[in-house]
Structure 1
């Protein structure tokens, strides 16, 4: 903000109902000049709207996928190539949105930037986001387009057997659209990206907002390749083994290979790396620590949301200045909380339940 904008902002903060004329009289400027400064404050995201609602709380921004999740659960052993008796459930999803909802449930103010259609699913996603307090006002809503859909079939152990994603709408997110959100990124505590969004958008954000720390979720092996040439600009990278291999080109067969991958990424400029290993746990590192935590033997009810909860917990730890060792433990506990509910997002997700899980499973 300019000095004059700061003066106006401080006066509005003290009296949100103050008029433009009153502001002008106090500062010795015209009402029209005051209006120009207020317009600039709105554009910069410091004032949220009529009545001078001040944006003063720290927040994080998520740029990524939003979709409707459709999950099929077989009643008995899954038989490929056959019609399986079971149940089908729908829930709100998308990596970016899932991370955002988990963050809200962990008490972190969160803005979500994504692309949706104006169909029944898009409307539902916006309505439900508003109910939980997830800010979606910066999303791009496209008329006549279909919101992304993620269709997954789980096996008898409730682990994913196969999935199909219909996500072409994400390609409609452009660099010009992202440029209009400059003020959102400049005032974010940090920004989380998932690789559902176009590579040119990822590259633009990482190249033009160097004062913002970026967390990256690689989502899938194919999409992880988008990070190959710009991974050095990432603060925290969360990925699994095969996604890491897609970025570094270094095959992982043992723990030494995990170390080599971490060293490669750290040399590129990444500050923190978390490689999720499924049932084996997580391998992680920063510039002072390289360690592995084994996973707890937990039977999942739904495995699709564990990674999103893991990332949200890492963000929570960053915001609260928690060291990397404890961050890894909290993130594992968060993923276990996510695994224990049939929905992609466990409605009982909270830091209290994460701490309780850590205590019960002796994650310490």
Structure 2
């Protein structure tokens, strides 16, 4: 089960500008003090780097601007041995940027200016159709246009590929789209938007997973941060606790989870086994940054 599988990640590429301070500012408030760092991020890029470092052959489909941020990001993806053949350049829009504040508890507040990510088109997906056909897993999020994601899911489903959807940022999704998804990976907020049920505990997580499943998805994994993840695998429901670690920065933790989950699922492991591996990979929260914190396969122990 250790052969290298092929994962196509469709999503955003951003540059993260991070300020770490004791607490997050209130509206209208200025806080002095704090450390600044700049990382390459974006949900799509984070998930692509995670999947590559954790042992998969990754193709990343994305769009960048013709600027310093985009060109730097491209070089980083190449250094991670990610196939960049289908990272397109938008001559009119800047590369995506995220402004991130992180407090002393590791909680964050994020504003994203998507830039070129918002122009990833159906035509771009068509250009990469051969790679989708060759892949074992298609992993997507919602920082690129919803119509592009829906189209990619339809193409992938036609080829019998497993589509993994991280529905972030939270959005209303059509049942016709969801029926093309093999597994959906929402957090508490996204699960509430999809189900109408506020996820507070195991019982509400169960009801939310069941309700989301009724939209046409057999497999639902609700990520619950330090509490772990609640899994609906067809008709089986399981609560899987997180590994206890000292949290420093949660930026990109959900993306590491999604990338790691997809790597294990591509190898034929069950949802529950894939979640346990993904939980173990989230040692990323013990480090600062998004991509810079992503672990390598040798660092992850179940």
Give yes or no for TM over 0.5: yes
Question: Does the 8 Å contact 2:163/2:183 carry over to 1?
Answer: yes
2:166 to 196, 208, 217: 217
Counting matched residue pairs gives 295
2:289 to 310, 327, 343: 343
Distance 1:88 1:110 in 2: 30
The alignment's C-alpha RMSD in Å is 1.9
2:148 to 177, 183, 201: 201
| 94-103 or 208-217, larger mean C-alpha shift | 208-217
> Could you say which residue in structure 2 is the equivalent of 1:29?
none
Question: Does the 8 Å contact 2:6/2:57 carry over to 1?
Answer: yes
- Partner of 1:201, secondary structure, is helix
TM-score by length of 2: 0.91
Distance 2:130 2:111 in 1: 35
- Partner of 2:231, secondary structure, is strand
Whether 1:314 and 2:261 are equivalent positions in the alignment is: yes
Whether 1:143 and 2:62 are equivalent positions in the alignment is: no
Whether 1:250 and 2:221 are equivalent positions in the alignment is: no
> Runs ≥4 in structure 1, deviation > 6 angstroms?
none
Name which one, 1 or 2, has greater alpha-carbon Rg: 1
Correspondences of 1:252-291 after superposition (within 5 Å): 252-291=199-238
CA deviations 1:151-174 (Å, max 9, x no partner) are: 1111122321x2211014222122
TM-score by length of 1: 0.76
Structure 1 unaligned blocks of 5 or more:
1-56, 359-364
Whether 1:125 and 2:73 are equivalent positions in the alignment is: yes
CA deviations 1:64-83 (Å, max 9, x no partner) are: 01000111011x44553123
1:239 to 177, 186, 190: 186
2:252 to 305, 328, 347: 305
Distance 1:72 1:262 in 2: 35
Distance 2:255 2:152 in 1: 21
> Could you say which residue in structure 2 is the equivalent of 1:164?
111
- Partner of 1:125, secondary structure, is helix
Structure that is richer in helix per residue:
1
CA separation of 1:323/1:187 partners in 2, compared to 1, >3 Å: closer, same or farther? same
Distance 2:57 2:81 in 1: 8
What is the Cα deviation at residue 98 of structure 1?
Answer: 0.5
Question: Does the 8 Å contact 2:64/2:89 carry over to 1?
Answer: yes
Structure 2 unaligned blocks of 5 or more:
none
Question: Does the 8 Å contact 2:64/2:95 carry over to 1?
Answer: yes
Kindly indicate whether structure 1 or structure 2 has the higher relative contact order, using CA contacts under 8 Å at least 6 residues apart: 2
